Each structure stands twice: as structure tokens, then as C-alpha cells.
Amino acid sequence: MADPLDEAEARFRALNSYQVTVQSTAADGERQVIHYFYRKPGWVRMEFVQPHAGLVLIYDPAVRKVRLWPFGLNHRPTLTFAPDNPLVRSRSGQRIDRSDVGALLANLLQLRARGRMTPLGDTELAAQSAAGFDILGDAGNAVAGVHRYRVWLAHDTRFPLKVESFDAAGDLIETVDMRDVEIDVRFSERFFAP
């Protein structure tokens, strides 16, 4: 049987695009709901539902810029930022140009290389069969501030459906649920460049 993380990473490399509803909850209870769209070679569109309903961010990998519409597309103002600008980074510091599933899988693989992975068993998430894995870094090892991940991958696609991250003290950093996943979506040419 293939290694589940290696298989997930290989399947990500093979896809062209995806869309997903991301629901993240920080340890303090702050919640975000975002419709997330991705197309290779790195286009990202994020439509915020909660908080900041209507806000849209689009990352253009060719020019390495983020365009922001605070009140929705076709509403002024439109602002442009570098992806490392604090105004377009998450509270935890995550950048839009490193927010896709491929970046997550790279972090999981990197932590596993400096630690260990153990199975958590099978479950069902959002009406999908999934396998869970606990990835724990060796003492002193963390990736992007995360010492431990618990991740659940869909059995059929190996796409991540849920991720919990923990710091070195074992405290929960964030829980991310990914729902309504669609792979290899055909987006119009204007979808990422309105």
C-alpha cells in the first residue's frame, strides 16, 4: 500500500485546480469561513464569508501581487499588496501565496521527516470516508511553528479534509475543516483576473 502522505502529494502534483470551503477555528475560538479557489501555477482566489463578508483576495503568481476588494468584486476601492504585507496575512502569519494544499502537504512531509507518523484510524467527515494520521515532530522540531499535526485524508482522493495543528507545548493552534471539495474545476479565464 502506498504511503498516504506521498500519495496525497503526488495527487496534488497531478491536479490542475480545486475549490473548497475552508472553515478554520483558532484556539481562542475566532472563526473564519472562506470559499477558496486554486489553479496552477499558483493562482489563488479567496472569498470571505466570515468575518469580513464580501471581501475578496486574488493572488497573481506572475506578478507576485495580491489584489484586495474590501467590499466585493466590482466595488471600489481595489488595493494591491505584496503577499508578505501584514494586511493580507492571516493572524497566524500565513501568506496567501503559501496557502494552498500543496504547501500544507509540504509542511506535513517535512515534519514527518523530522519525527514520526502514526495512524488514527478511519472515520467519516462531511459524508466522506477518511483516514486520520498523527504527525509528531521529534523534540525541538517544528515546521512553521507547528510541532504536531493531526490530519484526515479522504480515502478516494487523499485530499485533506481536516487538519489540527499544535505547538511544542501541545496546545491547539488551529482546526481547519475543508468541505465541498471539487478537484480539476474548469474556471473561466477571467475568474482569477477580473
For every one of its 194 residues, what pLDDT tens digit does the chain have, with 9 covering 90 and above?
Answer: 479 999 999 999 999 999 999 999 999 999 999 999 999 999 999 999 999 999 999 999 999 999 999 998 888 899 999 999 998 988 778 899 999 999 999 999 999 999 999 999 999 998 899 999 999 999 989 999 999 999 999 999 999 999 999 999 999 999 999 999 999 999 998 999 87
Question: b/e string for 82-113 if b means 16 or more Cβ within 10 A?
Answer: ebeeeebbeeeeebbbbbbbbbbbbbbbbbbe
**CB neighbourhood size of 72 (10 A):** 12
List the chain domain ranges.
4-183
Contact by Cβ (8 Å): 155, 129: yes
| Fold of the domain spanning 4-183 | outer membrane lipoprotein receptor (LolB), chain A (2.50.20)
Q: What is the pTM of this model?
A: 0.94
Tell me which residue of 135, 139, 138 sits closest to 148, measured CA to CA: 135
Provide the grid cell at 175: 482546526
